[in-house]
Structure 1
Amino acid sequence: MTNECVISLQRLDPSQHGQLKYAAAFVDEHIEDIRLEDGAIRITHRSPAGSERIADRVERLIDRFSKGDFGFKEANLFEHSGPMPYRGDIVAELVRTKTIKMLEPGLFIFREPFSSLMRFLDWSFVTRIAKRFEGLGEEQYPAVIHAETLNKTNHFTSFPEHIHFLTHLREDLDVIEAFSQSVREAGGWKAETPLPLDVHMPKPRFTMNPSTCYHCYEGLQDETLEGDGIAVTAIAKCHRFEGKNHIDFGRLLDFSMREIIFVGKPDYVKENRLRSIEYLKELAAEWELDSVIELANDPFFTNDFQVKASFQRQQEMKYELRLTIPYLDKSIACSSVNFHSTTFGNAFNIKIGKRSAVTGCVGFGIERWAFAFLAQFGLDEALWPKAFREQYREWQEKGL
């Protein structure tokens, strides 16, 4: 039976309502829908725990997000108004034309022309932004990452809800044969196939990679850098579980993240970070994107959310480039520009001279950029901005 739970948001600042809605998706696995309406959060569910249990958990989240009086610094570095000639439901259009195949919320197969647009966007970010940094190196990373590496980045305590753990059947002939036989007898793999993790599978040593830059720091562990620092670019498949939030526009389970990563002296990282912001502004204006670059914070899933988030904002450690999605009358973050201070330098013992290295990075969510661009301009290339259309056609003609 479907039930509805309604919790007042009177105690919570409106600026935190979106964060609460996001986090509420992890309150109970039987939640079906979450809405913000009339100063309350409404949760539709089929939980055997009942509405009272869900309400108690949501109140815990409200306590977390309203704790203390830290204040949230707001700042916009850049705003650009674009023409946005297309106003339709772009996801529905992409599905209708079989340009994308939705396997489930947040998981897609991308076909032409979306797949070509993704490649062009990545090529543009490399040639128009990344290669403007002197001495740029390019690296390739695996899709999986050591659990110990995530431990060093504090990912398990900051974003535990996102983690995709990887494991395998134990190296035990009886276990392997029993598993295979159980699947055969059931007529194939089924959701209810018995698979007790503590018996059949060892503790995971790896997870799916949640962020491109972590591999860079892992690769520099215990090294001492020369000069002012290094700039590296890489693209990797990243994975974040976001529960019911995958139904939201642009929240993918599996996505491609191009990053430019800076490791070195404080001035080197800070200056390159500022240059990155200027390059993003240039590209957004040239491509006539309706966009804004604003101060932001990570969605920490911790009891000290307010402390961490406010610290990020006060120190201006994170900016996001947000692109408008006209038919939803909202925007989504498609790029972020981050400064980590010595957090990762200390965690991985990366030195610049005798001091811990400072790090920063610029990220480009390739699928999000493609979704947002098409949401503003549609599939008809005649509606695309002149500069973008010319660059795209030149890229196609060169077969890049």
Structure 2
Amino acid sequence: MANVLRLSLERLDPMQHGQLKYAASFAAEGIVEVSLEADGYLRLVYDDRTTADVLTERVNRLIERFSRGEFGFKEHILYAREGAMPYRGDIMNELIARNIIKVLEPGLFIFREPFSHLLRFFDDQFVERVAKPFGATEETYPAIIHAASLDKTNHFTSFPEHLHFLTHLRDDLDVIEAFSESIRQAGGWKQEEPLDLDRNMAKPKFVMNPSTCYHCYEGLQGETLEGEGRIVTAVAKCHRYEGLNHNDFGRLLDFSMREIIFVGKPEFVRENRMKAVELLKGLAEEWELDCVIENANDPFFTNDFQVKASFQRQQEMKYEMRLTIPYIGKSIACSSVNFHSTAFGSAFDIKMGKRPATTGCVGFGLERWALAFLAQFGLDEAKWPKALLEAYDAWRARQGLIRS
């Protein structure tokens, strides 16, 4: 049975309404829907696994966490561009109706042509147009990472809701045979059947990797770099569990992230980071995008949200390039440009001389880029920006693909 609870957000700055909506979906297992209402209320639909009293207490706890308090949130728009956006339809419904996207479940998709081609094309462009100007060297990373390495990034304490632990049946013949027999007797895998994790499963050593750059720092652990620093690029499959937020296409369970990663002296990282911002501006102009590049903060989940988020904004440690999705009248962050100071250099003992290395990165969410582009220009290539279409045709020719 579905129940509805509405809670006033008058104590919370509107700037944090989106953060609260995101976090509220984790308040209890019984929540089936979370939405923001125009009159300043948060609406929660929930089933009988939880109660109104429990939800009220937990959401009020989150409201207190995300209130500004004494910490200001600096806003700074570095760049804004208005694009024509000739397509205004519901691109997701069109992609699904035309069987270009197959929804396996919220946040998990199969991508078919031409969306799958666009993913590869955008990745190629980001390598050619952003990574190569820096002389970045290419690396290849696995989709999993040591839990011990992820712990060093403070991901466990900053974004605990994201975690996807990887484990396996214990190396025990009795456990393996009993598990196999139980599946056979049940007539196959039953999601609703409880699995005795303590008895059957090994303690996890690995976690699904939530961000491409973490492997770069893990790979440099204990090294002392020469010169001004090092620049590498890689694309990796990343994984973040985001609960009900997977109903939003921008929150994928499994997604592709291209990054250009800077490791070196402070000025080396700062200068290259701002050069990356200029390169993003160039892409926006050439591709005629409706977008903004602005100061931002990570969606920290924990009690020290105010301190961490305010510090990021005050120090301008994170910029986001947000592309407009016209049919919903909102934007999504498709790229971020980050400055980490010496956090990762210290955590992984990466040195420049005797000092911890400074790090930064620029990231591209490939699925978000493809969706945002199609949301603005549609599937009809006749309406695409001339410069991008020329680049796309040249890329297809190199790939031996026939233009549809």
Q: TM-score range by the shorter chain?
A: over 0.9
- Rounded to whole Å, the distance in 2 between the matches of 1:66 and 1:214 is 30
- 1:61-210 to 2 correspondence within 5 Å? 61-66=62-67, 68-134=69-135, 136-210=136-210
2:273 alignment counterpart: 273
- 1:208-287 to 2 correspondence within 5 Å? 208-287=208-287
Q: Deviations over 1:271-307 (max 9, x none)?
A: 0000000000000110001000010000001101000
Q: Deviations over 1:309-344 (max 9, x none)?
A: 000000000000000000000000000000000000
Q: Deviations over 1:188-222 (max 9, x none)?
A: 10112331111111211001000000000000000
- Rounded to whole Å, the distance in 1 between the matches of 2:181 and 2:232 is 48
SS in 2 for 1:241: coil
- Rounded to whole Å, the distance in 1 between the matches of 2:387 and 2:68 is 48
Q: Deviations over 1:81-114 (max 9, x none)?
A: 1110111111110011111101011100001011
Asked whether the 8 Å contact 1:6–1:42 carries over to 2, the reply is yes
- Rounded to whole Å, the distance in 1 between the matches of 2:208 and 2:358 is 25
Q: Deviations over 1:37-92 (max 9, x none)?
A: 11111100104321111111000101111163111000100001111011111111
Match of 1:233, as an amino acid?
Answer: T
Match of 1:332, as an amino acid?
Answer: I
SS in 1 for 2:387: helix
- Rounded to whole Å, the distance in 2 between the matches of 1:44 and 1:106 is 20
- Rounded to whole Å, the distance in 2 between the matches of 1:249 and 1:255 is 11
State the shift of 1:157 in Å.
0.2
Q: Deviations over 1:218-267 (max 9, x none)?
A: 00000000000000000000000000001113211000000000000000
Asked whether the 8 Å contact 1:182–1:193 carries over to 2, the reply is no
- Rounded to whole Å, the distance in 2 between the matches of 1:113 and 1:10 is 45
- 1:379-394 to 2 correspondence within 5 Å? 379-394=379-394
1:367 alignment counterpart: 367
SS in 2 for 1:258: strand
Give the TM-score normalised by structure 2.
0.98
Match of 2:111, as an amino acid?
Answer: F
SS in 1 for 2:346: helix
Between 323-332 and 183-192, the greater mean CA deviation after superposition: 183-192
Asked whether the 8 Å contact 1:99–1:114 carries over to 2, the reply is yes
Asked whether the 8 Å contact 1:28–1:47 carries over to 2, the reply is no
Q: Deviations over 1:107-151 (max 9, x none)?
A: 0000101111110000000001110013x2110000000000011
Is the aligned partner of 1:336 residue 2:339?
no
Q: Which runs of 5+ in 2 are unaligned?
A: none
1:18 alignment counterpart: 18
Asked whether the 8 Å contact 2:5–2:43 carries over to 1, the reply is yes
SS in 1 for 2:256: strand
Match of 2:384, as an amino acid?
Answer: W
Asked whether the 8 Å contact 1:217–1:348 carries over to 2, the reply is yes
Match of 1:187, as an amino acid?
Answer: G
SS in 2 for 1:192: coil
Q: Deviations over 1:7-50 (max 9, x none)?
A: 11111111111100000010112211111111111100104321
Asked whether the 8 Å contact 2:71–2:307 carries over to 1, the reply is yes
- Rounded to whole Å, the distance in 2 between the matches of 1:83 and 1:356 is 46
CA RMSD of aligned residues (A): 0.9
Match of 1:8, as an amino acid?
Answer: S
Match of 2:303, as an amino acid?
Answer: N
Match of 2:373, as an amino acid?
Answer: F
Give the TM-score normalised by structure 1.
0.99
Match of 2:166, as an amino acid?
Answer: L
Which consecutive aligned stretches of 4+ in structure 1 deviate over 6 angstroms post-superposition?
none
1:396 alignment counterpart: 396
Question: In 2 relative to 1, CA 176–79 (structure 1 residues): closer, same or farther, beyond 3 Å?
Answer: same
State the shift of 1:6 in Å.
1.2
Asked whether the 8 Å contact 2:29–2:50 carries over to 1, the reply is no
1:41 alignment counterpart: 42
Is the aligned partner of 1:56 residue 2:65?
no
Q: Which runs of 5+ in 1 are unaligned?
A: none
